[in-house]
Amino acid sequence: MIPLPQLWAVCFFIMVILLCVDTQFTAIEGIVTSVTDVFPRVLRGARRREIFLLLFCIICYLTQIIMVTEGGMYWFQLYDYYACSGACLLFLSIFQSLTIGWVFGANRLCNIIQDMTGSYPNVVFRLCWKYLTPLASLVTFIYYLVELQPLTYNRGYVYPDWAYGFGRLMSLSSIVLVPAWALGRLGTTKGTLKQTEPLPVFTMAPSLRQWLRDYLAERRIRRSRLVTKSGHCNIEYGSVRYKNVFAYLQDSWSTFVEVSWYSFMFFYVASFIFSWFIFTLIWYWVARDNQDLWYQNPPENHTACILNMNDLVTSYLYSVESQLTIGFGYRVITPFCPSAIVVIMTQVLLGAVISCFWCGVLVNRIALPKKRAKAVTFSDMAVISSKQDALCLQIRVGNLRKSLLLGSQIYGKLIRTSVTPEGKTIIIEQVNIDFMVDAGKDNLFFVCPLTLYHVIDKSSPFFQMAVDVLPRQEFELVVFLDGTAESTNSSCQVRTSYIPQEIMWGYKFLPIISRSKNKKYHVDFTNFSKTEPVPTAHCAYCYHDVNCHNPNSDADGIENKGFETIEIEQTTDFSSSTTKM
């Protein structure tokens, strides 16, 4: 018996009560929300939804109070056997798999997943969606119908025929709705089946479609980055020669430290199993050489090297016991075989080496500097505005930990594709971008969030850009922050990138540092990436040209508005006039 049965009984009933309450909340909220969406003018008035919810709960209570009686159990079992049975779920799963795999299209679904995640699903998923899942559900559904037995109550009472009919009607109420609704929409939609693709079943509201388009476009932009917002380099290596692959094995320590956790666990388990199996064969050879195996029929006065080890399975068990040093019990080594003594010493030493190796790899993986880099965050957007009588590109960076990054340095690289005067195309051209704070750019005192700025002067690659041409540029600004963790004394680097659509012209960051009443500095990270519009010149050239620059201009908060169409009263064709001359 389990100790403290009263305690576990109370815990079980509390769990059941909470499960029932949670189910009721979700079911009632789903029904009430659906009815409210169907009749918004009637139920979305003042207090109307609350009144409807109260009446609905009262009706549900009055109809379900019968369940506490013996007759209620009669109806409950009927409902549970037919309406909540596996037939309904299996039927719906068949239609769902057919809809996803054939109507909507498995290939179309794979393309959407690729746009969202960046990787195309494996062929196994497509086979399951189109063939395996519908076939398995159909076979299970047919088997359920064949094995269906008449319903009885309390192991003796047989339900009448009308009860069976009512139960089947409840099952059909949830089964027929799906194909009936699909056929109804197909019948009421104009055009042939090919003309109605995609089917109205999968049409979405305009706002939802627009949101999905924007989301997929954002995912495509993220995939086209060289460096993601989280600092991951989006690059892959192809056609790597075998001799270069062996370089990973020669530097196995760095390889095992940098692989994913799934690969790490695989190599960890595989190394032990492989070593156990190798020594299993060695122990089997020792026993075979000493005539210890059972099929060799050793005599009764035979002296074995290892007691009770007479086949391959017992050799494997003895190998595991020896390498893990868990102690000998039924199988014990004897002092009469020198070869066995040498083997057990070798296995114990090799097992210690393997354990120490993986322990060191695990410690290094946990202490990787990139874990510390996750506590450093950059602003989601970069801004361009005036700062200290100069037009500056500004980025905000913050340290989420109280421990400092020592010797911090900040710099940037502008990644773009360019063509040399000789006609050679440089796919990834790197241009240095200098960032600084008020105190400089080296050895930053990173005790609070800092605003990094790059002065847009004549030497800056942003000098020729303007507010209307910036969003059409093709470049990527990669920002690096190097430092040494104060707690572990390990160097780390934080990276992020900004594309032209993430640079806001005519904005500045909101202030986030203030002083509290107890004379302490307070950092409000809720405004970390928030901005506000400020008067800013339309281009860097206009800012530096006194005749073009107007600091009192009302053109503030300009965010990629593009070109404006203007009317010109009179034009002159200079080409024609030049020809006449």
Known binding-site residues equal 19, 22
Q: CB atoms < 10 A from the CB of 356, how many?
A: 10
Token pair listed for 121: 């699903």
Cα–Cα distance, 151 to 158 (Å, whole number):
7
Binding residues for Na(+): 19, 22
Residue 78 DSSP label = H
Closest alpha carbon to 111 in 4, 221, 219 = 219
Contact 307, 332 (CB under 8 A): yes
Those residues whose C-beta lies under 8 Å from the C-beta of residue 512, and which sit 6 or more positions away, are: 449, 523, 524, 525, 527, 528
The alpha carbon of residue 69 and the mean position of all alpha carbons in its chain are separated, in whole angstroms, by 49
What is the SS3 assignment for 544? Answer: helix
HSE at residue 317, side-chain half, CA atoms within 13 A, is 14
Q: Which residues of 401-429 are buried (b: 16+ CB within 10 A; e: fewer)?
A: eeebbeebebbbbbbbeeeeeeeeeeeee
Long-range contacts of 32-40 (CB under 8 A, 24+ apart): 32/56
Task: Show Cβ contacts of residue 460 under 8 Å, excluding neighbours closer than 6 positions.
Answer: 433, 454, 540
For 49, 232, 282, 298, 322, the CA distances from 329, given in Å and listed in that order, are 73, 52, 20, 22, 11
CA dihedral for 463, 465, 466, 470, sign (positive or negative): negative
Question: Other CB atoms closer than 10 Å to residue 256's CB: what's the count?
Answer: 21
Neighbours of 574 (CB within 10 A): 8
The whole-angstrom separation of Cα 130 and Cα 109 is 12
Task: Specify the pairing of strand 503-505 against strand 382-386.
Answer: parallel
* Contact indicator for 393, 456 with CB cutoff of 8 Å: yes
In terms of Cβ atoms closer than 10 Å to its own Cβ (0-12, 13-18, 19+), residue 196 is middle
Contact 482, 373 (CB under 8 A): no
Instruction: Please report where in the chains the tokens 């109806």 appear, as a residue.
Output: 75
What's the burial of 469, exposed, middle or buried (CB within 10 Å: 0-12/13-18/19+)?
middle
Tokens of 381: 């957007």
Beta 442-444 vs 531-533: how paired, if at all? unpaired
Cα gap 45→32, rounded to integer Å: 14
| Residue for token pair 């990054």 | 405
